[in-house]
Amino acid sequence: MSGTNILQGAENVVVSGSTLNATNTINYNYSNRTTFDAVIPLKPNSSTRFTGRTEVIAKLKDHFIGANDQLRIRKYFLLHGMGGIGKTQICLRFIEEMSDNFSHVFWIDASSTSTITQGLKGICNLPEAQSGGLDGSSESALLWIGSLRENYVVVFDNADVLTPEELEQYFPPGLSGNILITSRNSAMQCLTSPTNCLEVKEMAENDAIILLLKASCLDMSSDLQKEASKIVKELFCLPLAIDQAGAIIRSGAINIKDYLGIYFEQRKTLLSHPEFKGASKYNRTVYGSWELLYKEIQQRTQSDDFDKARAAKNAILILAIFSFFHHGGISEDIFSNAAIQKGQTRKEKKRWLGFLLRKSTLPLASAKLDHRLLSLNDAGSWNNFMFKEGVQLLISFCFIRLGSHDGEYAVHPLIHAWYRDRMTSKERKEFCLMGYVMLACSLHEDFDKQPYSFRRGLVTHVKANIQHSKSLKQEATESYFDDASEKFVWILREQGYPKEAEILAIMIVDARRKILGKNQPTTIRAVESLAGIYRDMGRYAEALKLQKQCLDMRMKLLGREHSHTITTMANLGHTYENMGKYREAEELETKVLDARMRILGKDHPDTTTAMENLAITYRGMGKYEEAANLQRQCLDARIKFLGKEHLYTITAMATLGHTYENLGKYREAEELETKVLDASMRILGKDHPHTTHAMGNLAVTYRDLGKYTEAERLQKQCLDTRMRLLGEEHPYTITAMAGLGHTYENMGKYKEAEELETKVLDARIRVLGNDHPDTTTAMGNLAVTYRDLGKYADAEKLQKQCLDIRVRQLGEEHPYTITAISSLAHTFQCMGKYREAEELETHVLDARMRILGKEHPETTTAMEYLAKTYGSLGKYAEAEQLQKQCLDARTTLLGEEHPLTFRTMEYLAYTYKNLEKYQEAEQLESQVLNGRIKIFGESHQFTIWAMKNLAVTYRQMGKDTDAEILDMCVEDAEKGM
């Protein structure tokens, strides 16, 4: 509109009537009017580098210039967010774009009551205002603004420190006009309503890249965009930080390619350098923006108002502790649990008195716990009042924000870094230790009984705190606390971080051996814990050595029948089972079960656990019926004593389902695993690890049943959940990815399988190292997919690598080593290297017969593969002999209707056809077809393959009519797939 009066720019304007004109100096023509001692508040220009924020500006336009604009009822809006996030720049750009819609724009610096008062007094000097007879006071300015009949807007910018009540006093009277507020304090929404406010968050990454390159005066070439992308990610897309980085690069002080390297070393300097303030309209750096508000909190600690001073002191303490946690997902439960730990009842203290006396010479974190935020109420629960008042103050200053769940908080990563950077070295060590102790005390002695979600959240803070401690270069003697280390080893192991657990476990062993002696029970327990970690990491030889030492000491000190001795024996048996030394594992686990039965009785939970462990070893030995028998007993006992819905009962059901799957009883396995998944979902929730594990098990059974779509759906769900909760690098996530890759391979989606399995192998190498058994397994899986893709050279290379590692780590006789030889032989066969394949497969069969016995399923599989190679070499008689043995073994062990039995029948039928024994081939293939229809249905891929094989045999026998009928059945079945 032509009569617009916009106070445009901090200089270069002349005010004449109701219009603005550019000039080199400011000249006010007041005639005989009285002028007052105040400067007219001028709206700054927005930055020429302003980028993005289209959605926010669109929301402002829709609110202020919407369809109801003709009503002229006052509208309010709040933009809130942390310092440096770009609130001011958004408002400036909005006002500039919509200038024709406002008759007047009044831009007020609302950082304090004095800046607001000065701004309003300055408005009295406007020619238009003077004609209203103002007396130069802020009150008269407000009255004049309120009297304006046109559509004005007042922008209260930077209202960070004032309370909503203090700011409201400066609203013009009346119901006309518009009020736009920017503040770090989200509580200001009580002046606007929750619907008329918006939190300004970090920029979109693409917009942030554009801003950085604009600010750096660099072009948009792809190479520079890649460098810019790295920088904006590290700056978390915070506009002021990005603009400031651009200013430094533009000055020539740092090249864009060198910025991050220098930033990691000189972050505090770069984010607080006074020469590089970016587009801040308040002449502040990134760190300076936060420092100003922090000083306000510090000043409040000196207040005569006791409550106000206490809240400020608590806020400073909380922010200091938060700075040495992970920046997100900080739960109140950490403080609540630590408070309860501090206030243990007398009974609990007595229960742990003996344990503490034994450890009295070891440093304990619980002795260092700061109690200031941990008072208890009369009921013995945490009194969170002081914590809450401190948190609310930090939220109002936007130093922290509410998290995604109730009682959860987050700190912006740059604020997180700023607060540590402003501390002295001594303060960093003090508060890092305070955070460490708080985390340790929040994890109770019965930590496995605390909610899993709490433990999962806590481990991220434990890892972050340990990393901060390392960066401070604290000596081990300074940072070692026996109780904290023991708890953290447990939680790091549980959550899949064995490397981090190992470091702490070694510290515990060293400290206890030095101070308590190697024969002290808690020292032996620490050694056993370290051995368990080595087992988790696939370092079986190291685990075995330590566990044998522990068993010898337990026997010597406690005797054979002591519960600790038997537990140590069970742990050693577990390691033997992992190593594939099933005979040794069986021997030990049988002793453990006998001892448990004799000493504790058949109904004791430890006896049931021993039964479960022996069953797992039986399964590894191929003794599936013996395993299933024990697991059914175990399940019955768990149901009887714990109920159907207890976690241990559900676990027993899951292990039995796994064995049914090994037996080829897929329907029984599916039924049990469906129950397990339903119970886990209902009792533990969809995000619990047991639930996602149950999902993965059921998916494997679906895959064995040929229900690939259902398997794929479950595995994607499992992978998504683990990615969201655990992150891309967690071992459970990688396992889920591997499972999905296997399903893709079965579905013939070899490209998708290759992509996932490549990621799995890369992640295994990065997280676990080249020599971990899981890494070698990933290598083997990818090699199989390469073979399916016809990439035989790539498959051969990986399989040879895999075999070398297996031989070096596990020896030539380990089942995994033999499997690696078998896989390589299969690739040789696909490559037409039949002699090499025959040699390897003969070695595999001999090893299986010698180590596992002739009735083991793996022995039968070895027999089958060698027979297939004999067929490729034209040795049909030798192939027939082996395949008949294989069929007898499969029928005896698995039954006539097991999928593997059908596969053996197919292979034997193929050999019969080569031997021109068509009648025998027809009989077998008819049996396979009928069985497949019964188990899988007519439209299943396995059934269709059986139809096609039989059709070929019919043609060879001259039964063309029968072959044509089958061809039509195949066509119909493929349509129904």
Residues 91 and 153 in one domain: yes
**DSSP label at residue 838:** H
Rounded average pLDDT over 403-415? 88
- Per-residue confidence band for 349, with pLDDT thresholds at 50, 70 and 90: very low
CA distance 575 to 564: 17
Residues 227 and 306 in one domain: no
Q: Is residue 909 part of a domain?
A: no
- Per-residue confidence band for 782, with pLDDT thresholds at 50, 70 and 90: very high
Give Cβ neighbours of residue 844 (< 8 Å, ≥ 6 apart): 818, 821, 822, 825, 862, 865, 866
**DSSP label at residue 449:** G
**DSSP label at residue 35:** -
8 A C-beta contact, residue 876 and residue 895: no
Residues 276 and 360 in one domain: no
In this predicted structure, which of 570-574, 711-715, 830-834, 848-852 has the lowest mean pLDDT?
A: 848-852
pLDDT score for 23:
26
- Per-residue confidence band for 273, with pLDDT thresholds at 50, 70 and 90: confident
pLDDT score for 194:
85
Residues 381 and 418 in one domain: yes
Task: Give the CA angle between residues 611, 613, 614 to the nearest 5°.
Answer: 65
Residues 225 and 330 in one domain: no
pLDDT score for 798:
95
CA distance 897 to 891: 8
Q: How large a percentage of the chain has pLDDT more than 70?
A: 92
Q: Which long-range contacts (CB under 8 A, 24 or more apart) does 117-120 make?
A: 118/38, 118/39, 118/41, 119/41, 120/170
Tell me the two tokens of residue 884. Answer: 């008949």
Residues 188 and 76 in one domain: yes
Q: Is residue 933 part of a domain?
A: no
How is 125-170 classified by DSSP, letter by letter?
TSHHHHTTT--SSHHHHHHHHHH--S--EEEEET--SS-HHHHHTT
Residues 255 and 382 in one domain: no
Q: Is residue 850 part of a domain?
A: no
- Per-residue confidence band for 923, with pLDDT thresholds at 50, 70 and 90: very high
| CA 341 to chain centroid | 28
Q: Is residue 749 part of a domain?
A: no
Q: What SS3 class is residue 182?
A: strand
Residues 359 and 246 in one domain: no
User: What does the longest C-alpha to C-alpha distance in the chain come to?
Assistant: 123
Q: What SS3 class is residue 156?
A: strand
Residues 239 and 114 in one domain: no
pLDDT score for 5:
37
8 A C-beta contact, residue 185 and residue 219: no
Mean pLDDT, all residues of the chain: 86
- Per-residue confidence band for 25, with pLDDT thresholds at 50, 70 and 90: very low
Q: At residue 822, does pLDDT exceed 90?
A: yes
Q: At residue 530, does pLDDT exceed 70?
A: yes
Tell me the two tokens of residue 796. Answer: 């051969």
**CATH code of residue 680:** 1.25.40.10
Q: Is residue 875 part of a domain?
A: no
CA–CA distances in Å: residue 406 to residues 610, 681, 739, 840, 929: 41, 22, 34, 61, 58
How is 938-972 classified by DSSP, letter by letter?
TTSHHHHHHHHHHHHHHHHTT-HHHHHHHHHHHHH
8 A C-beta contact, residue 41 and residue 106: yes
Report the interhelical angle of 899-914 vs 941-956 (nearest 10°): 20
- Per-residue confidence band for 2, with pLDDT thresholds at 50, 70 and 90: very low
Tell me the two tokens of residue 422. Answer: 């402003």
8 A C-beta contact, residue 440 and residue 466: no
Residues 413 and 318 in one domain: yes
The 10 Å Cβ neighbour count of residue 761 is 24
Task: Give the CA angle between residues 189, 193, 196 to the nearest 5°.
Answer: 90
In this predicted structure, which of 265-269, 360-364, 379-383 has the lowest mean pLDDT?
A: 360-364
Pairing mode, strands 408-410 and 401-402: antiparallel
pLDDT score for 600:
92
8 A C-beta contact, residue 235 and residue 242: yes
Rounded average pLDDT over 227-244? 88
CA distance 16 to 888: 106
CA distance 810 to 803: 10
Q: Is residue 283 part of a domain?
A: yes
- Per-residue confidence band for 29, with pLDDT thresholds at 50, 70 and 90: very low
pLDDT digits (tens, 9 = 90+) for 856-885: 778 888 999 999 999 999 999 999 999 999
Top pLDDT among 679 and 273 is at 679
Nearest by Cα to 497 from 280, 731, 295: 731
pLDDT score for 26:
32
CA distance 516 to 522: 8
- Per-residue confidence band for 512, with pLDDT thresholds at 50, 70 and 90: very high
Nearest by Cα to 480 from 506, 461, 459: 506
Pairing mode, strands 104-109 and 5-6: parallel
Last residue of a domain, one of 423, 453, 488: 423
Rounded average pLDDT over 409-423? 91
Q: How large a percentage of the chain has pLDDT more than 90?
A: 48
Q: What type of residue sits at position 396?
A: S
Top pLDDT among 737 and 362 is at 737
pLDDT digits (tens, 9 = 90+) for 738-761: 999 999 988 888 899 999 999 999
8 A C-beta contact, residue 167 and residue 159: yes
Residues 166 and 190 in one domain: yes
Residues 91 and 176 in one domain: yes
Tell me the HSE value of 553 on the side-chain side, using a 13 A CA sphere: 18
Q: At residue 784, does pLDDT exceed 60?
A: yes
CA–CA distances in Å: residue 758 to residues 43, 346, 753, 778: 56, 56, 8, 8
Q: At residue 3, does pLDDT exceed 70?
A: no
Q: At residue 292, does pLDDT exceed 50?
A: yes
Last residue of a domain, one of 268, 301, 334: 301
- Per-residue confidence band for 489, with pLDDT thresholds at 50, 70 and 90: very high
Q: At residue 359, does pLDDT exceed 60?
A: no
**Structural domains in the chain (count):** 4
Pairing mode, strands 330-331 and 197-199: unpaired
In this predicted structure, which of 361-365, 417-421, 505-509 has the lowest mean pLDDT?
A: 361-365
What pTM was computed for the model?
Answer: 0.75
In this predicted structure, which of 117-126, 383-392, 569-578, 904-913 has the lowest mean pLDDT?
A: 117-126
CA distance 25 to 129: 21
8 A C-beta contact, residue 505 and residue 512: no
Q: At residue 37, does pLDDT exceed 80?
A: no
**Domain boundaries, position 708:** 643-722
**CATH code of residue 193:** 3.40.50.300
CA distance 493 to 486: 11
Top pLDDT among 603 and 11 is at 603
pLDDT score for 556:
94
Q: What type of residue sits at position 23?
A: T
pLDDT score for 543:
94
Judged by phi (left if over 0) then psi (alpha if -120 to 50, else beta), residue 401 lies in: beta
Q: Is residue 173 part of a domain?
A: yes
Q: Is residue 245 part of a domain?
A: yes
CA distance 961 to 140: 106
| CA 413 to chain centroid | 17
CA distance 214 to 687: 43
* Cα torsion 268, 270, 275, 281: sign: negative
pLDDT score for 278:
58
- Per-residue confidence band for 36, with pLDDT thresholds at 50, 70 and 90: low
- Per-residue confidence band for 344, with pLDDT thresholds at 50, 70 and 90: low
Tell me the two tokens of residue 641. Answer: 């004593």
Last residue of a domain, one of 360, 392, 423: 423
